Amino acid sequence: MDYTKMNNNILLIDDDPDDHEIFEFALELAYPTATCEHSYNCQDAVEKIRKRSSPLPGNIFLDFNMPMMELPKCLFAINEALGVDHADIVILTGFRTDDLPDFNSFGVVKVISKPSTIELLAEEIQDVVGYWASA
């Protein structure tokens, strides 16, 4: 696989600043060439996507429990903002994944229960982006 042609832009949408920091550490382990844009709510993320103020993400990691906009409405708004473009959406949650509804119709490729360590989160990120960082 030619990694130079992969879209290494990632968007993290989470209202918890600590989760952003943890995600950055895990992303550095999992995918050191990736760039990560941060949004702390769905409205901000949708606006960034609409304005195309930064490169469109290839992957969007979205916290399940976000304030101000329920998840289905957020997913709809993200997909509407993307238009004909595509991004793989991953839901991050503190809940058990089998307790959650199916969001595949919204472009969700995976639901991840937030792992207990940065290394485990890095493995989940690697699984999603399809890239294994070389040691």
Residue 100, token pair as written in the block: 């959650």
**Domain-wise residue ranges, the chain:** 3-95+107-129
- Summarised one tens digit per residue, pLDDT across range 13-44 is 999 999 999 999 999 999 888 999 999 999 99
Burial class of residue 76, CB neighbours in 10 A (0-12, 13-18, 19+): middle
- Summarised one tens digit per residue, pLDDT across range 86-118 is 899 999 988 776 666 677 667 788 888 888 899
CA 119, 133, 86, 38 dihedral sign is positive
What CATH code is assigned to 3-95+107-129?
Answer: 3.40.50.2300
Helix axes 118-129, 17-30, angle to 10 degrees: 60
Question: Residue 4: its pLDDT value, please?
Answer: 40
